[in-house]
Amino acid sequence: MKKIITVAFFCCAFAQVGFSQHICSAAFLGNKMIVDQYTKTGYKNEISLKATGDLTVNIVDLSPTESKAVDKIPFEVAIKEKDTQTITLFSKEDFMKVDVQKVLSQCKKGDQIVLLTLDKQYALPHNEILVK
């Protein structure tokens, strides 16, 4: 777990390099950050078709020992189809939270849920969630 948080910390730290500062954010299902495994080849950001709970995007307070959701931020949801790679908005609504089952009801295995922040000040480096 410590390794996961450390890598997440550095991913958001890199987002802050440049002309402007970005506030680090992450996707959560309930109170658990969805991205949960980092390897040399990438990260694991996936949920089951049977997952339940509220999907949110939160500003995160990351340290080498923990990741903590601070405040929810508004976001939009799109679905990227596995077969065609077509990205379609799930809803024209802006969300602070959404029942993940409502989103998953329009997905199939292999699709990706794509989360879009509504303000450039937020860095959301792991914005695609694979549906298993």
pLDDT at residue 69, rounded to an integer: 94
Structure confidence by residue, pLDDT tens digits, 51-96 = 999 999 999 997 778 788 999 999 999 999 999 999 999 999 999 9
Is the predicted pLDDT of residue 8 greater than 80, yes or no? no
This prediction's pTM: 0.83
Eight-state DSSP code of residue 7: H
> pLDDT confidence of 12, banded at 50, 70, 90?
low
pLDDT at residue 94, rounded to an integer: 98
The number of distinct structural domains making up the chain is 1
Cβ–Cβ < 8 Å for 35, 49: no
Is the predicted pLDDT of residue 44 greater than 90, yes or no? no
Residue with more model confidence, 9 or 31: 31
The mean pLDDT value of the chain amounts to: 86
Range of the domain at 7: 2-131
